[in-house]
Chain A
């Protein structure tokens, strides 16, 4: 979701969305969530997705952009669909005030930490690989 005016490759978004959804739902099929329990599978998937999206975003901000179709496939497609907010929100309500708030706080805290770790890793990897040229093209701290 670069926000630029370039056209979106809808096929790439759709394919990424299908793959991200299968990965997320696959986790729920292999480890079925227990009724009334903290949905650990979704928590792990959301936090993992936040880490990878952070790493990819950190990389993209520090380096030349990927081919547009690949960015559409990976960013709004696969990683956007692998993680979910609707399940988080309805589970927070379903768990009740106390545990729901705890689950929400845990999701946000670990998600933010994972996104930060991903961003840091992605941008440092990108800078390390771009080291030969003193100033990489583009704006590294956009």
Chain B
């Protein structure tokens, strides 16, 4: 394990510390991911609850007016699969910060492993993205696919650029 961790100490002890650190970083990354995904989902639900009120009600029904009964307020059924904005957020944010860490030259050594493979590896997710794509209708899946490709890879590039700019300045 010499190339992974530099500094004094036996390789076996270093490996144990690395694995313990990875487990802790991964646990924190997973908890942070779930917390952010749920926060985004709550925000999404709150925004979506406001939308029906803003949609103009259909032209008034004359028969309803004469009957003096209030027209039923049109209620949009809840979307069965709301846009996975939470997964997109964690993946783009994680790619941006991971790119920044690499760009700033902090990706090597034990700390780099803990941050990149540990925390941000667990904070972002590929499997959820894939399964969410498969559970969506084709058009919505295509939009989600393109959005993640564009924002996720774009965020990694932006993060790397920013990280190297900071790294050069610092």
Contacts and interface: CB of A to CB of B under 8 A. Distances in A.
A130 interface: no
Given A25-B22, A90-B99, A112 B134 contact: yes
Nearest to B97: A86
Contacts of A70: none
A7 to B, nearest CB: 10
Interface in A1-37: 1, 3, 8, 10, 13-22, 24-25, 28-29, 32
Interface in B11-25: 19, 22-25
Contact of B91 (A54, A85, A92, A107): A85
Nearest to B100: A90
A142 B80 CA distance: 8
Contacts of B149: 104, 108
A87 B98 contact: yes
A22 to B, nearest CB: 5
A82 interface: yes
Interface of B: 1, 3-4, 19, 22-31, 33-34, 37-38, 41, 80, 82, 86-87, 91, 94-95, 97-99, 102, 113, 116-118, 120-131, 133-135, 145, 148-149, 152-153, 155-157, 159-160
> What is the predominant secondary structure among interface residues of chain B facing chain A?
helix
A57 interface: yes
B38 A83 contact: no
Nearest to B141: A112
Contacts of B135: 57, 119
Nearest to B121: A84
Interface of A: 1, 3, 8, 10, 13-22, 24-25, 28-29, 32, 46, 49-50, 52-54, 57, 72, 76-77, 79-90, 92-94, 104, 107-108, 111-112, 114-116, 118-119, 142
A21 B134 contact: no
A28 B153 CA distance: 22
B121 A81 contact: yes
A93 B126 contact: no
Contacts of A83: 125-128
A14 B31 contact: yes
Contacts of A88: 126
Contacts of A90: 95, 98-99, 102, 156, 159-160
